């Protein structure tokens, strides 16, 4: 295509750093340009490569619409600035994505090209969606999974800790509450092992670990600052998104979730890349199983566990896995503040602490402590219990909170919800046989969690408890009548408690 002169028209829309320009449909047809093609936009010595979108109404044939990222890059602040337009080839990665869509196997170099372009915002959402969909429909070979993991690590930041033994954990999720990380990390660090834990915010749940930790301290730091925190106190509990560790993965996750796709190869690469990026040498994978958990059966969990071990071997990491009960919530609080309250109750050994959260946390901590040659086989859980009961874990958590610019003197009373409270009563006497993860999570989300930190659900009765008719089963913390109505509608359609 020859060079064409068009006039700028500013479009007040941000795209998340993806360069997009809009051409008039008729003009684009004349130029032989289609939606999704790339053009170079030049003004003097400045130029930008942008993805083409088309319009039949808002953009005239002699105009080019510039989304905010493009106009900022070129330094254009007004309309009618003359710009030179020339079509350029699409990135090579687009061809590699098409290759995967057609069922072909990709090399490391091809996968790296795709991942690198994802990181540098050179691909459209449609192109990234095509890649994710292809990994789901065509699958990834084991070699492709390793290549993807390494490419994600190599295109993002990494922590450079000097310790020979660096431990980590990850839970596959699908269980309401389950805030074990915030109990495990201070136990491990109090023992003397290094645990740089980066976690996610909620995507579809009432709270992620980062959301819950943010109730107690800041969670967004640069990689350099995070290294200093870990060097000082031996651990951190931070949001991985701002550290730019495995940056490509965060972008692909945003594409995956609206599609409700979680390809095994992509999931393995996603988790293991983040562990490799923080320098982990030993990792524990928690795989909850249950009807409403992400993993349904023991056999499926076993297969996943062995895959994690194999990927770990290729990355020079020791990986263990544990299959846990995912049939119902862990802990009593569902929502950032209520889950943080649960954590403090366990660490401070409050008499009314959620014992199921404590039990599972000690089991996980025991396995992780077993990575140390200072811990005899089978003794890890006992040591973890001693650290928790002695108060050393709480003292270490206070150090972590202080290092992350929080208040280390925070107490359970400081975490009393200020939201309105509505109690759900038992309609019959009996024993709680089951509590639905899915229903409880939906109610907590409808109540306003995680955006409203003290919104959510508190389980007054848990599995195994005896209940009398009229007793409170659960409390809903909400901010408005509209929110409460949504919660009650969900409870009517999906009662969470099974009482027999």
Whether residues 96 and 83 share a domain: the answer is no
Q: Is the pLDDT of residue 369 over 80?
A: yes
Q: Is the pTM of this model over 0.85?
A: yes
- 57 is in which domain, residue-wise? 4-88
**Cα distances (Å, whole numbers) of residue 229 to 19, 161, 217, 234, 368:** 36, 11, 13, 7, 21
Final residue before a domain boundary, out of 403, 438, 468: 403
CA distance 364 to 175: 16
Tell whether 159 is covered by a domain: no
- pLDDT single digits (tens) 335-347: 999 999 999 999 9
Instruction: Write out pLDDT tens, residues 224-279.
Output: 999 999 999 999 999 988 787 878 888 888 888 777 788 899 999 999 999 999 99
**130 plus 52 within the same structural domain:** no
What CATH number is attached to the domain comprising 363? 3.40.1030.10
Q: Is residue 272 part of a domain?
A: no
Name the domain boundary from 119, 139, 159.
Answer: 139
Q: Does residue 212 share a domain with residue 83?
A: no
Please tell me whether residues 9 and 83 are part of one structural domain.
yes
For position 17, what pLDDT does the model report?
83
Considering 53, 62, 109, 262, which one is annotated as catalytic?
262
In a domain, 27, yes or no: yes
Q: CB of 280 within 8 A of CB of 167?
A: yes
Same domain, yes or no: 79 and 108: no
Both 80 and 97 in a single domain? no
Domain assignment of residue 436, yes or no:
yes
Residues 398-407 pLDDT 10s:
999 999 999 9
Domain assignment present for 464: yes
Tell me if 233 sits within 8 A of 191, measured CB to CB. no
Q: Is the pLDDT reported for residue 2 higher than 80? A: no
Q: What pLDDT score was predicted for residue 1? A: 58
Q: pLDDT tens digits, residue range 405-422?
A: 999 999 999 999 999 999
pLDDT tens digits along 413-450: 999 999 999 999 999 999 999 999 999 999 999 999 99
Residues 84 and 98 in one domain: no
Same domain, 460 and 366: no
In 290-429, the DSSP E strands lie at: 318-325, 333-334, 420-425
Domain co-membership, 68 together with 124: no
Phi, psi (5° rounding) for residue 172?
-70, -15
Active site residue 37: no
Residues 215 and 289 in one domain: yes
Q: Answer yes or no: is 345 within a domain.
A: yes
- Across the chain, mean pLDDT equals 95
Contact at 8 Å (CB) between 97 and 114? yes
SS3 30: helix
DSSP secondary structure of 251-309: HHHHHHHHHT---HHHHHHHHHHHHHHTT-SEEEEEEEESTTSSB--HHHHHHHHHHHH
SS (HEC) of 452-490: CCCCEEEECCCCCCEECCCCEEEEEEECCHHHHHHHHHH
The DSSP call for residue 104 is P
Do 356 and 426 lie in one domain? The reply is no
Residues 346, 285 share a domain: yes
Domains in the chain, number: 4
Helical ranges in 419-459 per DSSP H = 437-447
Query: Does 268 fall in a domain?
Result: no
In the chain, the percentage of residues whose pLDDT exceeds 90 is 90
**Domain-embedded: residue 144:** no
């Amino acid at each position: 295509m020859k060079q064409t002169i068009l006039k700028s028209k500013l479009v007040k829309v941000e795209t998340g750093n993806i360069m997009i320009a809009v051409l008039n449909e008729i003009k684009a047809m004349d130029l032989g340009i289609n939606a999704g093609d790339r053009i170079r936009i030049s003004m003097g010595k400045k130029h930008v490569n942008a993805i083409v979108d088309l319009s039949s109404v808002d953009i005239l044939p002699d105009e080019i619409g510039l989304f905010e990222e493009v106009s900022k890059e070129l330094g254009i602040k007004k309309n009618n600035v003359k710009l030179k337009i020339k079509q350029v080839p699409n990135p090579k990665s687009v061809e590699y994505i098409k290759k995967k869509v057609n069922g072909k196997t990709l090399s490391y170099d091809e996968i790296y090209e795709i991942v690198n372009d994802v990181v540098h915002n050179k691909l459209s959402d449609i192109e990234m969606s095509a890649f994710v969909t292809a990994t789901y429909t065509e699958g990834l070979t084991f070699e492709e999974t390793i290549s993807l993991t390494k490419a994600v690590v190599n295109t993002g930041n990494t922590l450079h800790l000097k310790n020979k033994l660096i431990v980590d954990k990850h839970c596959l999720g699908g269980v309401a509450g389950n805030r074990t990380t915030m109990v495990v990390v201070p136990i491990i660090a109090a023992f003397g092992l290094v645990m740089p834990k980066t976690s996610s915010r909620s995507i579809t749940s009432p709270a992620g670990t980062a959301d819950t930790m943010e109730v107690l301290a800041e969670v967004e730091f640069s990689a350099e600052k995070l290294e200093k925190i870990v060097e000082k106190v031996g651990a951190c509990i931070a949001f991985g998104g701002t550290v730019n560790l495995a940056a490509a993965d965060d972008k692909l996750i945003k594409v995956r979730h609206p599609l409700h796709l979680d390809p095994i190869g992509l999931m393995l690469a996603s988790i293991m890349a983040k562990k490799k990026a923080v320098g982990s040498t030993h990792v524990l994978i928690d795989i909850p199983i249950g009807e409403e958990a992400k993993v349904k059966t023991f056999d499926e969990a076993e297969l996943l566990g062995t895959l994690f071990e194999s990927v770990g071997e290729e990355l020079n990491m020791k990986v263990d896995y544990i299959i846990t009960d995912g049939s119902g919530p862990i802990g009593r609080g569902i929502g950032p503040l209520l889950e943080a309250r649960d954590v403090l109750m366990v660490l401070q050994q409050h008499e009314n602490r959620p014992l199921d959260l404590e039990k599972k946390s000690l089991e996980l901590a025991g396995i992780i402590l077993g990575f140390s040659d200072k811990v005899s086989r089978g003794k890890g859980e006992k040591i973890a219990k001693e650290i928790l009961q002695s108060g050393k874990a709480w003292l270490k958590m206070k150090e972590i909170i202080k290092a992350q610019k929080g208040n280390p003197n925070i107490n359970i009373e400081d975490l009393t919800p200020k939201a309105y409270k509505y109690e759900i009563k038992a309609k019959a006497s009996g024993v709680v046989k089951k509590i639905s993860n899915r229903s409880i999570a939906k109610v907590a989300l409808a109540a306003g969690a995680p955006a409203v930190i003290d919104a959510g659900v508190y389980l007054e009765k848990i599995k195994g408890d005896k209940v009398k008719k009229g007793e409170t089963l659960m409390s809903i913390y909400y901010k408005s009548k509209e929110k409460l109505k949504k919660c009650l509608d969900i409870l009517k359609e999906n009662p969470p408690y099974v009482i027999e």
